[in-house]
Amino acid sequence: MNTRTCPVMTTTAGAPVADNQNSLSAGPNGPLLMQDWHLIEKLAHQNRERIPERVVHAKGWGAHGVFTVTHDITAYTCADVFGKVGQKTPLLARFSTVAGEQGAADAERDVRGFALKFYTSQGNWDLVGNNTPVFFIRDPLKFPDFIRTQKRNPKTNLRSNTAMWDFWSLSPETLHQITILMSDRGIPASPRFMNGYGSHTFSFWNRHGERFWVKFHFKTQQGHKTLTNQQAEQVIGKDRESYQRDLFGAIEAGQYPKWTVMVQVMSELNALRTAFNPFDLTKVWPHADYPLIPVGEIELNRNPDNYFAEIEQAAFSPSNVVPGIGFSPDRVLQARLFAYADAHRYRIGTHYEALPVNRPKCPVNHYHKDGAMRFFENNPNPAAYYEPNSFGGPVQAPEFQEPPLRLFGEAGRFDQRDASDDYAQPRELFKRMDIEQRQRLGSNIAASMQGVPGFIVDRALAHFDCIDLAYGQCIRAGLDQHGVEYSTR
Ligand code: HEM
């Protein structure tokens, strides 16, 4: 009789393992035998324990939670997730830094990813945003170039302030995001203490087929807590995993972080009349003109049991929308609709959406078939393996048809640069900062310019002067403090 209290260990093929301590050898001190399949399996499995890290946003922290509707917005959207007040939808959140690799320290100055997967009754809705309402570029053609400047120099294998400021000073559309990144908000103390933004303009459509443009906001209910460069250095000196420790620890302790979900809504007509392009990712919509409308609340209340399975293998994509939520002419969003699923197929595999963390919590009926690691359930109706068919296979449902998206224009590569327009919104942001915030902003920018050739610093300063002469002066004060060379006093 088996009197053990623990289950019997087996090979992956299910056979009992008699000895997990001693390799199979020829005599007590002799060489090992090829037939020690258990040893070979252990070594081979270990060699395959890593998948490629995300090309960007590699370092991340995540948890499960719930979205609760608190206000009725059915006038704007028929999305089931907003169906009625009090309705709850399970979700997964993953926060991240952009540039660092998987082992990067958490408390580095960088934009933070703010990715949410809502497991709605009509499929997964992924909102793959950041902790900033804008982004560095407005044309996706520049994304790979921009990311190059954030990653390691191919020769030195070091990150390069020169590459970063060379690109930024040649791309004034980055100024708004730089101003946020270098401000106090640039190093949140932990993901619990930062806002999230969908950043792009998306669309809502309601049951009458009317379309509205929409921006999503997630306001931290924990309040904002940020670190200065000096504080961050101290934190990193003691703990490179400060975010993981804080988020995981808070949830384990029952202190569930919450965010208030809000939207800004713009009619299609108003979009034609705004002074700025409402689909330009480098711009915010002024709150005075487009006030925040409360929608609901998200709460993170369950840590993953297995980080790799539930966070590393999580696959978010802006292309995952549900009926009632659509895209917009935002060209960066358009490119992202391609980039993510493509990245997931490379990083995780063909059937990544069938993994437990990515699998929708509603019926899934498609005709995709084979491929590596095809492990999901068989079609209960095997005769219907193509479409259309006469054997009762799944069919399209025209009632979910999105209203047509009005588009116009001639195909061409139109210049997206309008530098005068790149200064106005950073100016507004700078004007709202008090003296001390401005000093820290100038000092943070100057610190990030260390080692950058003078002609690049001068080119950057010329842009900051155009935003506000006082902005340029704050940076010059910081440059003097940090001993960085420049010639335009
Ligand atoms: C991750 C591409 C712009 C937010 C990623 C990944 C790729 C990518 C390939 C890795 C996906 C993976 O392996 O799982 C792009 C491209 C962009 C772009 C091509 C522009 C053309 C943006 C913008 C935002 C954003 C504007 C926010 C507003 C994120 C976030 C993640 C991510 C949060 C991490 C998602 C996660 O936690 O798994 N991006 N990205 N990206 N991106 Fe982007």
> Do residues 371 and 265 both lie within one domain?
no
Ligand 1 geometric centre to CA of 432 (Å): 29
Six-digit token string for 214: 């929409």
Residue 199 CB–ligand 1 contact under 6 Å: yes
Residue 445 CB–ligand 1 contact under 6 Å: no
**Residue to probe by mutation, ligand 1, list 336, 338, 346, 353, most atoms within 8 Å of CB:** 336
> Do residues 219 and 136 both lie within one domain?
yes
- Interface predicted TM-score (ipTM) over 0.90: yes
Grade residue 2 by pLDDT with cuts at 50, 70 and 90: low
Six-digit token string for 32: 């090992």
Residue 93 CB–ligand 1 contact under 6 Å: no
In this predicted model, what pLDDT tens digit does every residue of 292-333 receive, in sequence order?
Answer: 999 999 999 999 999 999 999 999 999 999 999 999 999 999
Which residue's CA is the closest to the ligand 1 atom numbered 30?
A: 113
Distance (Å, whole) CA 230 – CA 303: 30
Grade residue 407 by pLDDT with cuts at 50, 70 and 90: confident
pLDDT of residue 377: 87
Share of the chain above pLDDT 90, in %: 95
Residue 131 CB–ligand 1 contact under 6 Å: no
- The secondary structure of 154-186, three-state, reads CCCCCECHHHHHHHHHCCHHHHHHHHHHCCHHH
pLDDT of residue 418: 73
Grade residue 408 by pLDDT with cuts at 50, 70 and 90: confident
Confidence check: pLDDT of 1 > 80? no
pLDDT of residue 416: 84
> Do residues 306 and 379 both lie within one domain?
no
Prediction pTM value: 0.97
**Residue to probe by mutation, ligand 1, list 102, 111, 128, most atoms within 8 Å of CB:** 128
In this predicted model, what pLDDT tens digit does every residue of 174-209 receive, in sequence order?
Answer: 999 999 999 999 999 999 999 999 999 999 999 999
Atom of ligand 1 nearest to the CA of 114: 33
Ligand 1 geometric centre to CA of 383 (Å): 39
> Do residues 21 and 126 both lie within one domain?
no
In this predicted model, what pLDDT tens digit does every residue of 201-222 receive, in sequence order?
Answer: 999 999 999 999 999 999 999 9
Number of structural domains in the chain: 4
489 domain-assigned = no
β-pair partners for 300:
65
> Do residues 146 and 35 both lie within one domain?
no
Six-digit token string for 435: 């003296």
> Do residues 376 and 299 both lie within one domain?
no
In this predicted model, what pLDDT tens digit does every residue of 127-150 receive, in sequence order?
Answer: 999 999 999 999 999 999 999 999
448 domain-assigned = yes
390 CB-near residues (< 8 Å, 6+ apart): none
Residue 57 CB–ligand 1 contact under 6 Å: yes
Distance (Å, whole) CA 42 – CA 33: 15
The candidate with the shortest Cα–Cα distance to 215, out of 233, 197, 236, is: 197
Which residue's CA is the closest to the ligand 1 atom numbered 15?
A: 336
Distance (Å, whole) CA 81 – CA 400: 14
Residues 363-372: what's their mean pLDDT? Answer: 93
> Do residues 271 and 389 both lie within one domain?
no
Residue 336 CB–ligand 1 contact under 6 Å: yes
411 domain-assigned = no
Query: Which residues are annotated as catalytic?
Result: 57, 130
| Structural domain of 124 | 60-354
Domain boundary among 354, 383, 413: 354
Residue 8 CB–ligand 1 contact under 6 Å: no
275 domain-assigned = yes
Atom of ligand 1 nearest to the CA of 200: 28
Residues 468-475: what's their mean pLDDT? Answer: 98
> Do residues 348 and 370 both lie within one domain?
no
| 110 in Cβ contact with 94 (< 8 Å) | no
Distance (Å, whole) CA 27 – CA 320: 59
> Do residues 371 and 469 both lie within one domain?
no
